């Protein structure tokens, strides 16, 4: 189901590119924007360029983000590159401002959907998620900041009117991503289990977060238990629950919103 949603999100992003942005030479965010630029300047297909540019970051992301996210990202990059190759570049609107706005909104909706279901669209999304893990800055804001370089390239290669349209599109993409993808919100997870040691070891290997372990016992059963406490981002809760259930189906998991984090949030 998640893979299907990731593919749908990739289709939405591809439609935003080939129906709104590419026809007017408006660049998108991240490596996709670089792929669009190279596709405009060279005869090489944008889909193929997008795939080739993402290979180094996919390798890096595998070691930093884990297998689940990168598998979904590979699916997304492959699907997005294929859709960009297949979908014809035909403008839907005859107005460049409307194309900038709707291209940015649809692109942000597609990327936000992909991020929400434990994937990325590749490129700077991977960098943004890794940086977001060790900071309190949202993914959308990180992408908007990093994509300032794309705006400068657009102005240098084309003209500054095109750069401003690109800036508008990228800004809207970032805002829509943050509307859909709320995973930068911090949560505290308390896991009460009799399998604390093995769960702790797996979490340390899989999740880049610190863990506080406390001893306790069941008030009714008087059974000895371990209480694992972690501050995580929302998208990490799914992976953590899977790890816990793998070892202890009876574990009690309490998740609640964290208003503020003061201190070291990420594991070095």
3 state SS of 268: coil
Helix or strand or coil: residue 5? helix
102-115 confidence digits (pLDDT tens): 999 999 899 888 87
Better-scored residue on pLDDT, 190 or 173: 190
Residues 6+ apart with CB under 8 A from 204: 211, 267
What is the per-residue pLDDT across 53-77, written as a single tens digit (0 to 9) for each? 888 878 877 777 767 777 777 888 8
Helix-then-strand count for the chain, H and E: 11, 4
Cα separations in angstroms, 125 against 54, 61, 73, 243, 249:
11, 10, 10, 25, 34
Q: How confident is the model at residue 267 (pLDDT cuts 50, 70, 90)?
A: very low
The pTM of this model reads 0.64
Distance, CA of 85 to CA of 9 (rounded, Å): 16
Task: Give the span between the Cα atoms of 127 and 124, in whole angstroms.
Answer: 5
pLDDT, greater one: 159 or 12? 12
More confident residue, 7 or 209: 7
Q: 227 has which bridge partners?
A: 192, 214
Spatial distance between the Cα atoms of 157 and 152, rounded to a whole number of angstroms: 9
> Beta partners for 215?
226
DSSP E strands, the chain: 186-193, 212-217, 224-233, 252-257
CA 152 – CA 159 distance, rounded (Å): 10
Among the listed residues 121, 102, 106, 117, the one whose alpha carbon sits nearest the alpha carbon of residue 31: 121
Confidence of residue 268 (pLDDT cuts 50, 70, 90): very low
Query: What is the distance between the alpha carbons of residues 150 and 163, in angstroms, rounded to a whole number?
Result: 8
pLDDT, greater one: 261 or 221: 221
Residue 222, phi-psi category: left (phi > 0), alpha (psi -120 to 50), beta (remainder): left
Q: Give the model confidence (pLDDT) of 105-142 as tens digits.
A: 999 899 888 877 766 666 776 777 777 766 666 666 77
CA distances from 148 to 3, 45, 89, 142, 159 (A): 31, 24, 25, 10, 15
Dist. CA 195–CA 249, nearest whole Å: 10
């Amino acid at each position: 189901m998640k893979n299907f949603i990731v593919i749908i999100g990739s289709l939405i992003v591809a439609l935003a590119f080939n129906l709104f942005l590419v026809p007017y030479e408006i660049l998108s965010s991240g490596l996709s924007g670089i792929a669009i630029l190279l596709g405009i300047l060279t005869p090489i297909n944008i889909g193929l360029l997008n795939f080739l540019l993402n290979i180094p970051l996919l390798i890096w992301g595998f070691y930093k983000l884990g297998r689940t996210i990168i598998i979904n990202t590979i699916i997304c990059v492959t699907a997005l590159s294929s859709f960009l190759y297949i979908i014809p570049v035909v403008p839907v609107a005859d107005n460049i401002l409307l194309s900038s706005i709707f291209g940015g909104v649809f692109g942000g909706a597609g990327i936000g959907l992909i991020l929400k279901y434990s994937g990325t669209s590749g490129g700077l999304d991977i960098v943004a998620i890794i940086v977001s893990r060790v900071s309190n800055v949202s993914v959308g804001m990180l992408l908007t900041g990093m994509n300032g370089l794309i705006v400068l390239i657009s102005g240098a290669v084309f003209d500054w009117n095109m750069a401003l349209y690109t800036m508008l599109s990228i800004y809207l993409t970032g805002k829509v991503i943050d509307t859909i993808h709320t995973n930068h919100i911090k949560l505290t997870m308390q896991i009460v289990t009799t399998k604390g040691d093995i769960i702790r070891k797996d979490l340390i290997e899989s999740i880049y977060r610190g863990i506080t372990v406390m001893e306790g016992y069941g008030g009714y059963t008087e059974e000895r238990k371990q209480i694992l406490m972690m501050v995580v981002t929302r998208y990490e809760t799914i992976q953590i629950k899977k790890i816990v259930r793998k070892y202890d189906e009876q574990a009690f998991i309490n998740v609640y919103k964290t208003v503020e984090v003061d201190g070291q949030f990420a594991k070095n």
